[in-house]
Amino acid sequence: MSAARLAIRALQLRFDRVVGSQLKLNIVSGLGANILSALITVVGYRLYLNYLGYERYGLWLILSTVLIMVQLGNFGISPALLKLVAEDFANHDIAGVYRYITSAVFALSLGGALLVCVIWLFRSPIVALFGLKGESYLIVYSMLPYLSCVSVYVIMIDALNAALGGLGRYDLVNYSQTASQVVSLCVTLIGLQMGWSLWSFVAGNAAAYVFLNIVSLVLIRSITRSGRLSDIAVDQKRLVRLLKFGSWVFSGSVVGMLVNPINRVLISRFIGVSAIPIYDIAYTGTMKIRNFLEIGFRPLLPALSSLQASGSEAIHQRLVSAEKAGSRFILYWGTALHVIMFIGAEWALKLWLGPRFSPALPPAFRIMLVGAYCSLWAVQAYYTLLAFGRSMHVLMCFVIQLALDVGAIYLIAFLHRGGPMSTADVATGASIGLAGVTLYLRWQSRRLRTEYRENCEAVTLK
């Protein structure tokens, strides 16, 4: 065996020894945390609908759209922070880690303040988009500015959590996020019991992220065993790197975050507010099922970023082995889980929602389940491309998703010839968009592996 091949093998073994056990812990903890998260969501939906009904809860889902839209103020910084913190931590640059975090929080605070001002000034046309009238209009209009402030705080804490993941401790990210969901559920239910109505959700979200803020700071400080005041400073060079990498993710997020709001707007205007929870249950429920397996791939981003920072020539072997293992996992476990849920969807929804069950739910749920299964095949490619700095493809995949989603919905509406649409029609459009994303990302991931194979062969020949 040549000296070059021996060196590659040695670097690969070193990576496996140092990162492998932690990576397994990250994956296992993610699976466990996702099961708990799904249970919390199941309990929450049932209780929220019991307290509020479909109409009132639909108003909260309209308000929660602001939480999604305000995340545009993230500028793609959270995934950029996850990757770049992993690189600095792999190189033992603790001061660089803290400067990345400080620079990220600085940028997010400025962007968030601008978004709050925009929402405050344009809340009337924003609410009018949903076709609300009377009391429903006044409720959403009055709550919008306050929820936007909470939303800005949310994106800043998400960045802190991303930094924690960049330190290689995705297990702690999983634990803290699950605990924050429990806090949110408990505070929201207390508020509903006390008659706070929709304000209960605002209080629940605020309490959850205050908790997550404190926990993230404590854990980051504990892992780095540092935190000098001189390190807590905005670093112009690192800020530029964050924004440069994040700009593609941000652009993709701008496009991607339009998908659900547009679908909700179409449902609100052409089907009715009470149909929004049906679509949301179908979408959120199927994404939770997919996330049982998807969450296991998330630790690949910091792990592969650390490997890239080491300059190892074994990258191609790692990419190939990870792709094979991931594909087998999805083929066996992913297929089995989605087939079981597809068959038992109606029974499970009736059991879960009881008297609140709607006959429109099973068709929409099953269609979205097919889309979720298709998108599961894209997650490994997505995290791999981000880990190697190919963030441009995030924008491209979301453009494809939005175009296919909206195009399919309008095509279905045209085929109805002016007749009423259903939530199943909207779910069909969303599923087609997810399938398109999968095809694009897997193609780009294959190109990445080919590129590193050629580089590896060139090094071996030398």
Could you tell me which of 27, 2, 26, 270 has the C-alpha nearest to residue 131?
A: 270
C-alpha torsion sign, points 183, 222, 388, 333:
negative
- Least confident residue range of 9-18, 393-402, 421-430: 9-18
C-alpha torsion sign, points 411, 416, 418, 419:
negative
Q: What is the mean pLDDT of residues 43-51?
A: 85
The percent of residues in the chain predicted with pLDDT above 70, rounded, is 85
Q: Distance between CA 267 and CA 200 in Å, rounded? A: 25
* Average pLDDT over the chain, rounded to an integer: 80
**φ/ψ (deg, to 5) at 302:** -65, -35
- Least confident residue range of 15-29, 73-87, 239-253, 340-354: 15-29
Does residue 277 register a pLDDT over 80? yes
Q: What is the pLDDT of residue 2?
A: 53
Q: What is the pLDDT of residue 208?
A: 92
Q: Distance between CA 358 and CA 316 in Å, rounded? A: 50
Number of structural domains found in the chain: 1
pLDDT-derived band of residue 237, with 50, 70 and 90 as boundaries? confident
The percent of residues in the chain predicted with pLDDT above 90, rounded, is 15
pLDDT-derived band of residue 342, with 50, 70 and 90 as boundaries? very high
Q: Distance between CA 386 and CA 391 in Å, rounded? A: 5
Query: Locate tokens 């924003």: which residue?
Result: 126
Q: What is the mean pLDDT of residues 208-216?
A: 92
Q: What is the pLDDT of residue 4?
A: 46
Could you tell me which of 55, 50, 78, 25 has the C-alpha nearest to residue 296?
A: 25
Q: What is the pLDDT of residue 367?
A: 93
Range of the domain at 334: 3-461
- Least confident residue range of 21-25, 86-90, 164-168, 271-275: 21-25
Measuring CA to CA, how many Å separate 31 from each of 28, 74, 171? 5, 26, 10
* C-alpha 269 chain-centroid distance: 27
pLDDT-derived band of residue 7, with 50, 70 and 90 as boundaries? very low
Whether this model's pTM surpasses 0.85: no
- Least confident residue range of 188-197, 370-379, 391-400: 391-400
Q: What is the pLDDT of residues 67-117, one digit of tens each?
A: 666 666 677 788 888 888 888 887 888 888 888 888 888 888 888 888 888
Q: Is 325 exposed, middle or buried (0-12, 13-18, 19+ CB in 10 A)?
A: exposed
Does residue 12 register a pLDDT over 50? no
Q: What is the pLDDT of residue 19?
A: 43
Q: What is the pLDDT of residues 403-432, one digit of tens each?
A: 998 888 888 878 877 677 788 888 898 899
Q: What is the mean pLDDT of residues 346-358?
A: 85
